Structure 1
Amino acid sequence: MWHGWPIERVLILFAGIAFALLAVQVTLFHSRQNFRHWAMWLPVIELPLFAVTAIVLSFYNAGWLRWVFALWMLMGVAGGVYGAYLHTVGVGQRVGGYGQSQNFLVGPPVILPLFMTALSALGLIALFWG
């Protein structure tokens, strides 16, 4: 079944599975914080859409679906950068701010939204590679 799949197709499938796993983690983290900021809902809604689109695209290569996936991935890149900004601000709002290294350990994870950015960029690379 996997024989003959180009690397681009495998990477899109990988990205879809990774988006699904990331969606679970982000939902757990944001629900633990009771969705205190409206932007916390964005990745909770986006990531499952990214996952389903990528997985379906890896099996059904339709032109319109490729455009939808490209738009989702552009949103993912931008949303991840915005999330990293919000998480960085959140670390600074904790007692002691940025001078307290412990805040980077127990505060909002600054790297997690950047993982969404990197995974979205991987999706774009895989989509436009061939």
Structure 2
Amino acid sequence: MLENWDSWTLGKVLTLFLTLGILMIWAQITVWHHRGKFHKWQMWIPVFALPFFALTSFLVVVFPFSWAGWLQTVMCIVVLLAGIYGGILHIGAIAKRTGGIRYENLQSGPPFVLPFTVAAFAMIQLLNLWY
């Protein structure tokens, strides 16, 4: 069952877990942004970017060639920037709610931590690729 498991490095295993995590987060983001009726064009960014991030992550595991690594690097940078941008947008949306940035608005407003989590996943994968 675990034939050739020794050839699976920690980097490959971590990449697979990050891929699964990104796909789960992507599903949740898609549901929440659909509920928000995609009223801002920026809501489409993670819906389109995260599946490509997951695909390039999977390609790095299956085809560990330099072209796949560079493609994954580009996607990591895109997702990292998109996550930071999304986090700023979420905090801005919370600040516009009645009362501004208060605990109640943090609970009921857009999830301000989620975009930064996506950015953290991209940063972890960048570190995984290059170190």
SS at match of 2:6: coil
State how far apart, in whole Å, the 1-side matches of 2:45 and 2:61 are. Answer: 24
The answer to whether the 8 A contact 1:9-1:58 is kept is yes
* Partner residue in 2 for 1:39: 42
Tell me which amino acid in the other structure corresponds to 2:59.
V
Tell me which amino acid in the other structure corresponds to 1:28.
V
The answer to whether the 8 A contact 1:16-1:53 is kept is no
Which of 17, 21, 25 is the equivalent residue of 2:20?
17
Identity of aligned residues (%): 31
SS at match of 1:94: coil
Which of 109, 118, 129 is the equivalent residue of 1:127?
129
The answer on 1:69 being equivalent to 2:40 is no
Moved over 3 A (4+): none
Unaligned runs of 5+ in 2: none
* TM-align CA RMSD: 1.0
TM-score, structure 2 normalization: 0.93
Number of residue pairs matched? Answer: 128
Higher relative contact order (CA 8 A, sep 6+): 1
Q: Which segment is superposed worse, 111-120 or 1-10?
A: 1-10
SS at match of 2:7: coil
* Partner residue in 1 for 2:9: 6
Unaligned runs of 5+ in 1: none
* Partner residue in 1 for 2:29: 26
- Deviation, 1:101, is 1.7
State how far apart, in whole Å, the 2-side matches of 1:52 and 1:42 are. Answer: 16
The answer on 1:97 being equivalent to 2:89 is no
Alignment deviations for residues 27-81 of structure 1 (CA, whole Å, 9 cap, x no partner): 0111010011110000000001111111121111121111010000011111111
State how far apart, in whole Å, the 1-side matches of 2:21 and 2:60 are. Answer: 15
* Partner residue in 2 for 1:115: 117
Q: Which segment is superposed worse, 38-47 or 55-64?
A: 55-64
State how far apart, in whole Å, the 2-side matches of 1:57 and 1:102 are. Answer: 42
* Partner residue in 1 for 2:55: 52
